[in-house]
Amino acid sequence: MAYMAALRTALDEDGMTVDPAPAERAGRVRMQALLEERMRIFGQAGHTGDYALEPFRPVQA
């Protein structure tokens, strides 16, 4: 919803645009901001050092 809202806003500001890339960029930026906010709210951000990395086992043929 955040992506589409930003996309619609960008297209409403300049309805004569032919290239959709700037409007899509606005949507991606808004979606990234929303995800960063939600990760902080739900406690997912900043926990990379909490767990030891375990490499994948090699695939046996």
Count CB-CB contacts under 10 A for residue 12: 9
Domain boundaries, the chain: 2-44
| Whole-number pLDDT of residue 18 | 66
pLDDT at 32: 92
The count of other CB atoms within 10 Å of the CB of residue 26 is 19
pLDDT tens per residue, the chain (61 residues)?
Answer: 777 887 778 777 776 766 777 778 888 888 899 988 988 888 777 777 777 878 888 777 6
